Amino acid sequence: EPEVTQTPSHQVTQMGQEVILRCVPISNHLYFYWYRQILGQKVEFLVSFYNNEISEKSEIFDDQFSVERPDGSNFTLKIRSTKLEDSAMYFCASSEARTGGLTEAFFGQGTRLTVV
Amino acid sequence: DQQVKQNSPSLSVQEGRISILNCDYTNSMFDYFLWYKKYPAEGPTFLISISSIKDKNEDGRFTVFLNKSAKHLSLHIVPSQPGDSAVYFCAASLAGTASKLTFGTGTRLQVTL
């Protein structure tokens, strides 16, 4: 069964450093998302991406965040200058376009980011 | 911002019995609702969904009920199995495939022998 894969599974970084989280969405999917879950809190939407541009972003997704689909298969989330509060589980998801416009998003297993 | 709420943080059910997980929402513009299951250290796994034009959707042991007037949905699992033990999230979205999902806080289901 096709799945969304994320690398690395765990990333430890020093405060102020840049990190890039990588995702390979399901191959025929057209919509891509990043979500995060801070420990003990709910899963929160960060950004959605379609047709090589951001379609929606939350207030969490400020100027230190960026997304890119560099080569038609990978989808990356970059955090330019990490802060302690960026420590969370980051989930990539993808969904396909479907007639009627209703479709579920499939999630990767997540990357645990720890900022020290 | 508590647009999607799961008021029960945990639920314990005996194997073979019915599990009922509840979810309330406040935004009447939501028109698509989903349930995800999550094991520790894994991503959410899609279970079942329902469009706002329906009031029930069934898939094997899982049934989702939607009461639009009450802005309430529930997930029924019958019969419950030990492998169902996980955290269950309800999520909602506005019209359109590229729309974000708004998640509830989750309910931890424990199915006991």
pLDDT of residue A71: 86
Mention every residue, 6+ apart, whose C-beta is less than 8 A from residue A41: B105
What CATH number is attached to the domain comprising A92?
2.60.40.10
- B34 interfacial to chain A (CB closer than 8 Å): yes
- A42 interfacial to chain B (CB closer than 8 Å): yes
Mention every residue, 6+ apart, whose C-beta is less than 8 A from residue B55: B65, B66, B67, B68
Q: For residue A70, which amino acid is it? A: P
Residue-level pLDDT, tens digit, chain A, 116 residues:
789 999 999 999 999 999 999 999 999 898 899 999 999 889 999 999 988 999 889 999 999 999 999 887 899 999 999 999 999 999 999 988 755 556 788 999 999 999 99
Considering its fold, how many domains does chain A have in total?
Answer: 1
Chain A interface, best mutation among B35, B99, B105, by max A CB count within 10 A: B99
Q: Chain B: residue nearest A108 by CA?
A: B43
Q: Are A91 and A107 in contact (CB under 8 A)?
A: yes
Structurally, at CATH architecture level, domain B4-95+104-112 sits in Sandwich (2.60)
Bridge partners of B74, per DSSP, are B22, B65
Mean pLDDT of all residues belonging to chain B: 93
Q: Chain B: residue nearest A110 by CA?
A: B43
pLDDT of residue B98: 58
Per-domain residue ranges of chain B: 4-95+104-112
- A56 interfacial to chain B (CB closer than 8 Å): yes
**Residue range of the domain that includes A23:** 5-97+105-115
- In this predicted model, what pLDDT tens digit does every residue of B49-78 receive, in sequence order? 999 999 999 999 999 999 999 999 999 999
Residue closest to A33 by CA, chosen among A56, A13, A3, A10: A56
Q: For residue A31, which amino acid is it? A: Y
What are the chain B neighbours of A6 within 8 Å (beta carbons)? 43
B96/A42 Cβ within 8 A: no
